[in-house]
Amino acid sequence: MLQKHSLSVKIQNPAAYIKEANCLSIGVDKWEQDIRDYVATGGIHPSDDAMIMNLCSALPSALRSNLIWRTYEFQQYSQFKYYVIKQVERLEHFNGKSALMYLDESEDEVMALAREKLKEFPEIA
């Protein structure tokens, strides 16, 4: 019973898994394993909608705001997860760094950094 409760609390925050793993796909795998363990202890598996929203809430706001508009396109969590992981892999490939690098920073800090970078390109600003 204590394990079930502990897992119930833990699986409510998938962002912690992603942050700890420092990798989206590994963090999601660990989160899903804890959900399976929770179900094995008698817990009820979250619905696909709940899983989609939990994963979405775990992403940095820049990614989340773009994905939230597309959640209706995915009938199953597995489809959404595949899409998100593939998109993040593409971002990481083209950015040359982790697409989740701003996970700990507030939107204000990210916007300040963006404004600072734009100063280097006055024709764009």
Residue 94 pLDDT exceeds 90: no
Average pLDDT of the segment spanning 13-29: 88
Distances (CA, A) of 35 to 20, 26, 28, 98, 113: 17, 14, 10, 26, 36
Local confidence band at 113 (pLDDT 50, 70, 90 cut-offs): low
Average pLDDT of the segment spanning 14-23: 85
Local confidence band at 54 (pLDDT 50, 70, 90 cut-offs): very high
pTM listed for this prediction: 0.72
Nearest Cα to Cα of residue 76 among 46, 99, 100? 46
Average pLDDT of the segment spanning 40-57: 93
